[in-house]
Amino acid sequence: MENLAKRYLLALVAVTLLAVGAGQAQMQNQTPQAARSRADEMLDRWNDIGNKLVAMAQDFPEDKYDFKVQKDERTFAQNLLHAAALDFVLIRRISGSNFGPDFGEGDNPSRDVFKTKADVVKFVQEAVADGAQVIQQQGDAGLDNTSKFFGNRLAHNSSIWMLAIEHSGEHYGQLVVYYRANNMVPPDSRR
Amino acid sequence: MKQTAVFLLLGLVTLVAASAQDAKSAPQGQQLSVAAVVDREISNVEKQIVEVAEAMPEEKFNFSPEGLNIPGSDYKGVRTFAGQVKHIAASNYFIWSPLTGDKLPEGLKDGNGPQNVKAKAEIISFLKDSFALGHKAAASLTAENMLQNPGSSKSTRLRLAVFGVEHAFDHYGQMVEYLRMNGIVPPASRPKSD
């Protein structure tokens, strides 16, 4: 009787171990679905449009950096500098820290400060990277905080981030037209 | 018992009223729901795109840079101005309808929009209706569902809601260029009168 109980106990332990092992193997085979957060979503959107602008900055020929389609608008380089500069302005307001290089007042840095293609590319890359860092650091709680916006009024950080993303998207759209004016296909449209 | 029921009813009424206030006109600096934030962004892009669409004269609605034959350019096959507007509207429907469960409008089969929508007034009406769906989609976002994927979508509800806005801004940038190519200053870039 005692042997039977022992055997039963051993069998139970074996079955339990097998079940646990099988469960673990199943979990390892399945790709774990990481829980998304609002900050994750914002970060994806930020990086998506930011990296599109970086790709354009890297791809467009340097000798065409001062090209524009019409006379009363920004050049290719000025579009990029403006988009990145506004990013920095907003990143600074949200973070309370002085991210990025000194590019003077406003959000239209002079080409005298960013003379080469490499300078412009670096400026855009830094804006995208710094914004991503702040979004990650502040997380969901940061999106619900408020920061001083234009005219010193307060706005929710989630609204400010979205404005920056939309603003970059608008200038991306303009640069798409600049690309085709130069018989070039925008990097994102080549895929 | 009666008092408790009245108290609960008052509480419910207050809650509903507060939610409506939150979604429509929460003062700056106060807590806004995600639905309210997204709705405001949709209103923002809707205003800008409708204004740009209205600024283009009807006779130039089918303008494409291809017709300018700019030396050294290649605009072959790019969307016309009307095509851009219809594409934004069509995309709005495809992006936002999974959030609301609405059926696509009659004749909408792809990102180019229904073929029978041709006149400027029809196209703008189609555009405005698509943004109405956007507002409905934004209103459907809750703290509980916004990070869930609707139906078989690979994107969360929040991502879809926001992506519609981003996508529209990309094409807004192109439409701005089309206006300038026709000597028209985009409404948002015109000097503001005091």
Q: What is the pLDDT of residues A53-108, one digit of tens each?
A: 999 999 999 999 999 999 889 999 999 999 999 999 999 999 999 999 999 999 99
Instruction: Please state the pTM of the whole predicted model.
Output: 0.81
Distances in whole angstroms, Cα of residue B174 to Cα of each of A28, A93, A175, B85, B103: 47, 29, 8, 11, 29
Q: How far apart are the C-alpha atoms of A2 and B146, rounded to whole Å?
A: 58
3-state secondary structure chain A: CHHHHHHHHHHHHHHHHHHHHHHHHHHHHCCCCCCCCHHHHHHHHHHHHHHHHHHHHHHCCHHHCCCCCCCCCCCHHHHHHHHHHHHHHHHHHHHCCCCCCCCCCCCCCCCCCCCCHHHHHHHHHHHHHHHHHHHHHHHHHHHHCEEECHHHCEEEHHHHHHHHHHHHHHHHHHHHHHHHHCCCCCHHHCC
Closest approach of A91 to chain B, Cα-based (Å): 18
How close is the nearest chain B Cα to the Cα of A177, in Å?
A: 6
Strand-pairing partners, residue A154, are A148
Q: Which tokens go with A134?
A: 């702040």
CB contact under 8 A, B162 and A38: no
Residue B111 buriedness (CB in 10 A; 0-12 / 13-18 / 19+): middle
Q: Where are the domains of chain A?
A: 1-33, 37-189
Q: Is the pLDDT assigned to residue A110 strictly greater than 60? A: yes
Check if A176 contacts B (Cβ < 8 Å). yes
Which parts of B60-161 are beta strand (E)?
A: none
For residue B159, the surrounding DSSP H or E stretch is helix B157-181
User: Which segment of A118-122, A148-152, B144-148, B177-181 scores lowest on mean pLDDT?
Assistant: A148-152
Q: Cα–chain-centroid distance for residue A183?
A: 28
Closest CA to B34 of B143, B156, B131: B143
What are phi and psi for residue A154, nearest 5 degrees? Answer: -90, 145
Question: Amino acid letter at A107?
Answer: D
Tokens 């009813």 found at: B9
Confidence of residue A35 (pLDDT cuts 50, 70, 90): low
Q: Which residues pair with A146 in a beta bridge?
A: A156
Report DSSP letters for B15-31, one per residue: HHHHHHHHHHHPPTTS-
Q: Which amino acid is at B193?
A: S
**Which residues of B are less than 8 Å from A61 in CB distance?**
none
Of B137, B90, B95, B133, residue with least CA distance to B114:
B90
Nearest to B173 among A36, A163, A169 (CB): A169
Q: How far is A147 from chain B (nearest CA, A)?
A: 8
Residue B74's pLDDT band (cuts 50, 70, 90): very high
Yes or no, beta carbons of A174 and B185 under 8 Å apart: no
* Per-residue pLDDT at A33: 54
d(CA A14, CA A70): 78
Cβ distance A70 to B40 less than 8 Å, yes or no, reads no
Q: Contact B165/A162 with Cβ under 8 angstroms?
A: yes
pLDDT for B104 equals 96
Residue A19 has pLDDT above 60, yes or no: no
Which residue is listed with tokens 């085709």? A180
CATH architecture for residues B35-62+77-185? Up-down Bundle (1.20)
A155/A148 Cα distance (integer angstroms): 6
| Contact check, Cβ <8 Å, B65/A159 | no
Task: Give the residue with greater pLDDT, A181 vs A7.
Answer: A181
Instruction: Give domain limits for chain B.
Output: 35-62+77-185
B-chain residues near A182 (CB < 8 A): 72-73
Find the CB nearest A36 among B78, B147, B163. B147
Evaluate if residue B180 carries a pLDDT over 80. Answer: yes
Q: Nearest 5 degrees, angle CA B16-CA B22-CA B24?
A: 105
Task: Calculate what percentage of chain B has a pLDDT beyond 90.
Answer: 78
- Name the minimum distance, in Å, from the CA of B72 to any CA of chain A: 6
Which chain A residues are within 8 Å of B174, Cβ to Cβ?
Answer: 173-174, 176-177
Question: Is A153 near chain B, with CB under 8 Å?
Answer: yes
Q: d(Cα A80, Cα A85) in Å, to the nearest integer?
A: 8
Among candidates B29, B45, B174 on the partner chain, residue whose Cβ is nearest the Cβ of A176? B174
Q: Which CATH class is domain A37-189?
A: mainly alpha
Return the bridge partners of B54, or none: none
pLDDT of res. B22: 34
Q: What is the DSSP letter of B146?
A: T
Q: Under a CB-based contact definition with an 8 Å cutoff, are residues A93 and A148 in contact?
A: yes
Residues B62/B178, Cβ–Cβ less than 8 Å: no
Q: Do A45 and B162 touch (CB under 8 A)?
A: yes
* A180 interface with B at CB cutoff 8 Å: yes
Give yes or no for A45 touching B (CB within 8 A): yes
Residue B193 confidence (pLDDT):
63
Nearest to A167 by CA among B7, B172, B30: B172
Check pLDDT > 60 for residue A22.
Answer: no
